[in-house]
Amino acid sequence: MKTQILLAAVLLSGCTSAPFLVATLPAEDLAAVSDYNLCRAAYSRHATRTLELEVRRRELDCSGHLAVAEARQAHALGVANYFNSSAFKAPVPQTQQTDCYLLGNVVRCRQY
């Protein structure tokens, strides 16, 4: 039992810097978050007004994280554009059945 509790504590403590978890912290607890993890959370899809205010209060330069966030957003936009494009929605070509010869026997096969 002690081993399971210790294992759970170790596994869960490794996730405390995840942007989602940082974004759920109240304003008082954000003071304990490192600058790196605060920038990651502030420019993630989980960003909140509280995170933005904490970044301003600390006067952090999160430009590196902003560049990563912009690249992620551009990629997501490109994927969305592809799935909405006519190339993705192009109809599947219809196949025609014809007679084919296999070892002297006539069989039905599809022609693409």
Over residues 60-65, the mean pLDDT reads 84
Radius of gyration of the chain (CA): 27
Which residues, in sequence order, are CB contacts of 42 under 8 Å at separation 6+? 51, 52, 54, 55, 62, 65
Task: Answer yes or no: is pLDDT of 46 > 80.
Answer: yes
Mean pLDDT of the chain: 77
| pLDDT for the residue 3 | 54
pLDDT band at residue 111, thresholds of 50, 70 and 90?
A: low
DSSP-assigned letters across all residues of 43-103:
TSTT--HHHHHHHHHHT---HHHHHHHHHHHHHHHHHHHHHHSTTTSPPPPPPEEEEEEET
